[in-house]
Amino acid sequence: MLGGSFAVALLRNGMGAILMMGIFLLLDRPRLSMKKTVLCYILFGILMVLVFSAWYGFDRDGYIRFSGIMSLPAIGIFCAAMSGEGIYLSFYKISLGFYLLSICVFLGIDVSRLWFGGNKWVDIGIRMGVCILILTGLAKRYRKFFFESLDFLREEMDASSLITLIVSFILAAFVALWPTERTFSVMNMIRIAVIMFMAGVIQYLTFHLYLHLGKEHCYQAEKQLLEMNEQFLRRQLELEKRAEEEAARIRHDVRHHCMLIRQYVRDRDTESLLAYLKQYGEDVENARTERLCGNRSVNGILSSYAHHARKEGIRVRMVVTMSEDPAVRDIDLVAILANLFENAIQGCLHSGAPEQEINMSITQKGHKIVIQCRNTCGANIRFRNGLPRPEKGNSTGMSSIVKTAARYVGETDFLVEDGTFLARVLLNLPGGGIAGVPIKR
């Protein structure tokens, strides 16, 4: 700290508050409307600047030693309370702001001491310039990239990895703001600069590592979806082949039917003719293709997988009540139903149970669709983060269901009870609000 009047302290505190809260707000999705959030930020920023400036006026030595570190919990608690994100991401953003603030303070004070004899206005000018560069760079370049990467980071980052990032940021920042007397020297300045630079490089590389891991898993999920679509098309081709064979058989049988009908007509045997036509009508009705609902995609995917399951000796029961156009993309319906049915078939085959069964239910009520799939399963199913972990392979299919449901602000639930695996998916359709109805166990 290079000293100065109360007004100078007010200016420095204002820049620090603007930088830290501005960084957090640029990278945050607040839980309130943006207008209310900005108003709260302004009021809290003014209050904090006044309190810290008053501290500078009453206890300058204590302020110089502890103000930098005390700004972290003060701003951090407020920003985390205003955020709509999880607590770990809030910690990450506030620690990033604290790290960048420490760089701003370090450059302002030490550059001013190195080349300008400790001039306080040079210090303020450097801080102001660095603040503008940081906030402008975040707003124009990093903000969009951060939000595009957020889903990948949430998928890959766990508590320990995020805490590692936060601690490394804060430790580097404490080097510049630790409450102790620091004798100015070029070597000391270089040491601090190297530490802070290395901390920044570690953060950058770690951030991109998790980002690339998240993208890789996303590509794996897309690859699995393509493979499932390929299986679906193959089964559709099998159904088409069966339909062609059935049509050829019918054409062959029609000739015999016509011969018999002509004979009944010649003999004027009306009763036998009517009985025969009634029996023929019943056969045609029984041979009619199963139609579960008006939506062609749902009807096709369920019919295809049900046929495959029955070929494996699995009993299938399905109840579908939904509109022809439920305001859900066909590709999303296919992703959910194909993964559910594929998982159910594999669960039945690996269960070893003598009686294997799949019960599929799809119900649409207003702006909600509830999908339930219950299937026979083994007793050795394990869960991780709420998702079942298969003995072989990975749980990409279940992750795909969760991600697809999230697009519709939906919920998913997976559990094992009484030797059966139960999967439940809730989708909130457009126009039905954003609040989902929790699935009760």
Per-residue pLDDT tens digits for 51-86? 888 888 888 777 777 776 787 788 888 988 898 877
**Average pLDDT over the chain, rounded to an integer:** 78
- In this structure, the answer to whether residues 78 and 215 fall within a common structural domain is yes
- List the structure tokens of 204: 């950058």
182, pLDDT greater than 60 = no
- In this structure, the answer to whether residues 136 and 282 fall within a common structural domain is no
The pLDDT score that the predictor gives to residue 425 is 93
Residue 19 has a CB neighbour count (10 Å cut-off) of 25
| Residue range 194-209, pLDDT digits in tens | 877 877 777 777 777 7
- In this structure, the answer to whether residues 252 and 210 fall within a common structural domain is no
Q: Is residue 30 part of a domain?
A: yes
Tell the residue number behind the tokens 């579960």, with chain if given. Answer: 292
User: End of a domain among 286, 320, 335?
Assistant: 286
Q: Is residue 237 part of a domain?
A: yes
- In this structure, the answer to whether residues 215 and 263 fall within a common structural domain is no
The pLDDT score that the predictor gives to residue 305 is 82
Q: Is residue 390 part of a domain?
A: yes
| CA 272 and chain centroid, separation | 66
Q: Is residue 438 part of a domain?
A: no
- In this structure, the answer to whether residues 262 and 362 fall within a common structural domain is no
Q: Look at the chain and report how many structural domains it folds into.
A: 3
- In this structure, the answer to whether residues 192 and 60 fall within a common structural domain is yes
- In this structure, the answer to whether residues 306 and 397 fall within a common structural domain is yes
- In this structure, the answer to whether residues 363 and 251 fall within a common structural domain is no
Highest mean pLDDT among 93-97, 150-154, 390-394: 93-97
CA angle, residues 429, 431, 435, in degrees to nearest 5? 70
The pLDDT score that the predictor gives to residue 439 is 41
CATH at 354: 3.30.565.10
- In this structure, the answer to whether residues 282 and 144 fall within a common structural domain is no
User: End of a domain among 170, 199, 222?
Assistant: 222
User: End of a domain among 194, 222, 250?
Assistant: 222
Which of the residue ranges 76-80, 168-172, 269-273, 437-441 would you say has the lowest mean pLDDT?
437-441
- In this structure, the answer to whether residues 238 and 198 fall within a common structural domain is no
Return the percentage of the chain with pLDDT > 70, whole number: 76
Q: Is residue 433 part of a domain?
A: no
- In this structure, the answer to whether residues 52 and 191 fall within a common structural domain is yes
Q: Is residue 72 part of a domain?
A: yes
Q: Is residue 435 part of a domain?
A: no
- Choose among 395, 396, 344, 351: nearest CA to 371: 344
Between 281 and 29, where is the model more confident? 29
167, pLDDT greater than 60 = yes
- In this structure, the answer to whether residues 214 and 328 fall within a common structural domain is no
Taking the model in full, what pTM does it have?
Answer: 0.56
Domain that holds residue 390: 296-428
